Amino acid sequence: MGKDNCVPSFESHYWLGKKVGTVTALLGGLATLILTFDPAWTLLGAVLGYYSTVVGSVAPDIDLSQPKGTLKYASIPYRQFILVCNFLIVVCLALGLSMYNQGGIEIRSAIVSIVAVGAAIVLIRFLPNLLHGIMPKHRGITHGFAFWILMSAVFGYTIHWLLSFLGYSSIVLTVLPAIVGVGVLMGSFTHMSSDSISTLAKKYAPPSMGDRLPWVPRKLPLLFDLPSLLKVGFDRKAPTSVRLLVVLTAGYAVLPFDIITDLIPIIGWSDDFTIYMYLRRTVYNSYERDIGVITGIKRDFQLLDRIILPALILGGIALVALIVYL
């Protein structure tokens, strides 16, 4: 596998896609509301923005393919792609035969139907091998930005054609395909960016860092990290370099000085998140290696894991109730 071992898993891409999809949904819903003033279309615009981004965030891994005999070891996007292709083959076969046999079943139409069904069965059987031959290597054409610019246009045009076929208004024909195209493009860009960042981080990480500690939380890292980073920063037993690294980690996350300006939505926040996650891992690994006593920090994480999320949910409910009451 080589460098492919460094890339994020399907779950990681899916998680990132949902986060970016939430932003796309908000922007898509807002754009639809401004242009149509219709709540139903607004909801549809938000839903299309969300799911097109999620699809785009995992779709590049359809090139992690395997032939028919080992299909279960292929990526989830590839297996789903096989299912969609098989579904389309069956639908096209059914529609084609229903149109061809409108005049009734005769000898000739029966022979044509048998041949068509046999051809569809053969195509479904050898489709995984065919696709595997087209995409034999990971990070091929489906990991190119130009490819997803083209695919976002294809997705957008497909939605446009479907809506125009159903006779919807010109405003809807413009805004919804645009939302789908942008969503697919944002999702695929998120996927390829996370792959590249992970590969670089793995390549240039110091050998002493090792893998991410299993007890370091994945959920709400900045919120969960704050008490523990402060504890490391004020621990006089910790090396000065580690304590300074705590200051750098927290400082880059909150200060307005960035490699990529925050004025660019999503992309502008990616450098903050990536550098922060890289620095926090360095802090925890260095602290564990040099001090060796991290029981208290583990206990803090376990306590926060139990109370922060429920507290956020209850706080949100209380805030909504206060706004409604006022």
User: Is pLDDT at 293 greater than 50 in this prediction?
Assistant: no
pTM given for the model:
0.62
> pLDDT tens-digit profile of 91-103?
999 998 888 887 6
User: How large is the average pLDDT for residues 36-61?
Assistant: 92
Query: Is pLDDT of 161 > 70?
Result: yes
Q: Which pLDDT band holds residue 3 (cuts at 50, 70, 90)? A: very low
For residue 217, give the 3-state DSSP assignment. coil
Q: Which residue has the higher pLDDT, 211 or 274?
A: 274
Query: Residue 263: its pLDDT value, please?
Result: 54
For the cut 80, the answer to whether the pLDDT of residue 256 exceeds it is no
Q: Which of 17-21, 221-225, 294-298 has the lowest mean pLDDT?
A: 294-298
pLDDT (0 to 100) of residue 245: 72
316: number of CA atoms within 13 Å, CB side?
Answer: 6
Mean pLDDT of the chain: 77
> If pLDDT is split at 50, 70 and 90, which confidence band does 215 have?
very low
Question: Residue 155 pLDDT more than 70?
Answer: yes
Stretch 95-116: mean pLDDT, rounded?
Answer: 84
Output the CA–CA distances (angstroms, integers) from residue 11 to 7, 76, 203, 212, in the order listed: 11, 10, 22, 16
User: Which carries the bigger pLDDT value, residue 70 or residue 54?
Assistant: 54
Helix 10-36 vs helix 39-58: angle between axes, to the nearest 10 degrees? 150
Provide the residue ranges of all domains of the chain, joining segments of one domain with +.
2-203, 221-325
| 58 band by pLDDT with thresholds 50, 70 and 90 | very high
Is 215 strand, coil or helix? coil
Under the banding of pLDDT at 50, 70 and 90, the label for residue 208 is very low
- pLDDT (tens digit per residue) in 74-91: 889 999 999 999 999 999
- Rounded distance between C-alpha atoms, residue 286 and residue 206, angstroms: 11
Whether 37 has a pLDDT exceeding 60, the answer reads yes
Task: Give the model's pLDDT for residue 150.
Answer: 93
Encode pLDDT of 167-197 as tens digits: 888 888 889 999 999 999 999 998 988 887 7
Higher pLDDT pick, 132 / 276: 132
Q: Residue 60 pLDDT more than 90?
A: yes
Q: Are 56 and 187 in contact (CB under 8 A)?
A: yes
Q: Would you place residue 106 in the very low, low, confident or very high pLDDT band (cuts 50, 70, 90)?
A: confident
Determine the Cα–Cα distance for residues 114 and 118; give it in Å rounded to an integer: 6
Residues 287/232, Cβ–Cβ less than 8 Å: yes
Residue of higher predicted confidence among 326 and 220: 326
More confident residue, 171 or 302: 171
- Residue whose token pair is 């920090």: 297
User: Cα–Cα distances in Å, from 291 out to 233, 264, 284, 285?
Assistant: 13, 40, 10, 10
Exposed, middle or buried by CB within 10 Å (0-12, 13-18, 19+), for 61?
Answer: buried
